[in-house]
Amino acid sequence: MGIRAQWIISEAGLHNLNCAGITTGWLKAWLGSAGAEDVSIYPLESSGWQREDAQWRIFFADEMELIHSAQTLGLPLDGDHPDHPEAFDTSPLLLDNPQRICWSYRKGNGSILFISPGDIAYQRKLYLKHINGGRALLPLAVLAGDSGELMLEPGLSAALIGEGEALPESALNGDGVLIEEQVVDLLRQKQLRLRTAESCTAGGIAARIGRVPGASDVLDRSWVTYSNEAKIEELGVDAELIERFGAVSAEVVAAMAEGGKGDGAACIAVSGIAGPAGGSDDKPVGTVWIAVALPGESAVTQLLSLSGSRSEVQWRTVNAALTLLLAQAGQQVT
């Protein structure tokens, strides 16, 4: 029988995740890479997590909620267990950003970890290896689109790679790395800076990159150009292009990217119809054009036909744009 694991998240913890842009899909996938075969997500306020047996439990909540949860389980957070001191091996785990002590309890194959809100994404290897006893993490292939069995977020999925299995050719990475982390690392390696020219995503691409520690090494500037006037004035797009092809077109998004790139700076550009209104027979809601322009090269464009709510269309657009950048910048010879 494989390891069953739980993420138990309070409203405060969920708010922290939302602010960081991290979905519970990523949390489940990361625990899978640590060796869990079945991962459930429970609200702390529910009683479901208490009814289900689990070898691993990670609580993500504010300090007072963690104290109450520990008391519910008979596990004081100070590590002092006067009634049954031999029952659990208690040890602290230090996480940064913000610096905080997390308490871990281990007995046999069972582990319980209490984490207060803060960075949960970029220090994941620390708590994942802590809860699984220091074992190596399994390869976790991150895939563009929804083909993987693990849904991460709109536009990204994942698959755990077993021993002897090859990484899918379409995989963006095999280490469970956030796509924005991968972009920052690649641009740093290529000694490229990044600019974005965004219409339907309203700065979402730049914000996504800005989540990553060290983003200032690569992120240069961003334009949010919803209006045609902004595209013309800020990016130098020819007004005749917009008149002839429309703002949502390969020609205009390529011109946006070309206008935004610079010496040593690549530019991502997007223009689309996120909905719920604004579509037409020729360009229905979900029609999005993306472009990437690298220094010294012509812009490469891609048409997306997306479905879902406005926020889902925007989220999928951001992921598709970053995927296109990875494909183009990864091919560039330095």
pLDDT tens-digit series, residues 311-321: 999 999 999 99
Q: Where are the alpha helices (DSSP H) in 34-148?
A: 48-51, 63-72, 124-131
CB 134 within 8 A of CB 141: no
Four-point Cα dihedral 306, 308, 314, 319, nearest 10? -60
pLDDT of residue 15: 97
Order across the sheet with 287-293: list the strands. 219-224, 193-198, 265-272, 287-293, 300-305
Q: Return the pLDDT at 179.
A: 97
Task: Return the CATH fold of 179-331.
Answer: Maf protein (3.90.950)
* Architecture category of domain 3-138 in CATH: 3-Layer(aba) Sandwich (3.40)
Cβ(97)–Cβ(119) under 8 Å? yes
* Dist CA 26 CA 41 (whole Å): 11
Domain range summary for the chain, segments of one domain joined by +: 3-138, 179-331
Contact 260, 223 (CB under 8 A): yes
Task: Look at residue 1 in the predicted model and tell me its pLDDT.
Answer: 59
**Span 259-308, pLDDT tens digits:** 999 999 999 999 999 999 998 999 999 999 999 999 999 999 999 999 99
Q: What is the pLDDT of residues 4-60, one digit of tens each?
A: 999 999 999 999 999 999 999 999 999 999 999 999 999 999 989 998 889 999 999
Q: Helix/strand/coil (H, E, C) string of 5-20?
A: EEEEECHHHHHHHHHH
- DSSP state at residue 215: G
Percent of the chain whose predicted confidence (pLDDT) is above 70: 95
Q: Report whether pLDDT(310) > 80.
A: yes
8 A C-beta contact, residue 257 and residue 267: yes
pLDDT of res. 77: 63
Prior bond to 284 cis, omega within 30? Answer: no
**Bridge partners for 6 per DSSP:** 40, 57
d(CA 115, CA 102): 5
Strand partners, 103: 92, 114
pLDDT of residue 334: 43
Summarize pLDDT for 55-112 with one digit per residue, the tens.
999 999 999 999 999 988 888 666 554 555 445 678 889 999 999 989 999 887 889 9
Number of C-beta neighbours around residue 114 at 10 A: 25
The radius of gyration of the chain's CA atoms, rounded to the nearest angstrom, is 23
Q: What end-to-end distance do the CA atoms of the chain give, in Å?
A: 49
Q: What is the mean pLDDT of residues 112-136?
A: 95
Do residues 188 and 41 lie in contact, with contact meaning Cβ atoms separated by under 8 Å? no
Please compute the mean of the pLDDT values over residues 114-137 and round it to a whole number: 95
Given this model, what pLDDT does residue 331 score? Answer: 74
Element (DSSP H or E) covering residue 333: none
CB 235 within 8 A of CB 208: no
Tell me, rounded to whole angstroms, the distance of Cα 255 from its chain centroid. Answer: 28
Which residue from 279, 254, 246, 269 is spatially nearest to 317, judged by alpha carbons? 269
Q: For residue range 193-208, list pLDDT tens digits in order.
A: 999 999 999 999 999 9
pLDDT: is 225 or 92 the higher one? 225
Q: Which residue has the higher pLDDT, 92 or 227?
A: 227
Residue 315: its pLDDT value, please?
97
What mean pLDDT is predicted for residues 155-170? Answer: 93
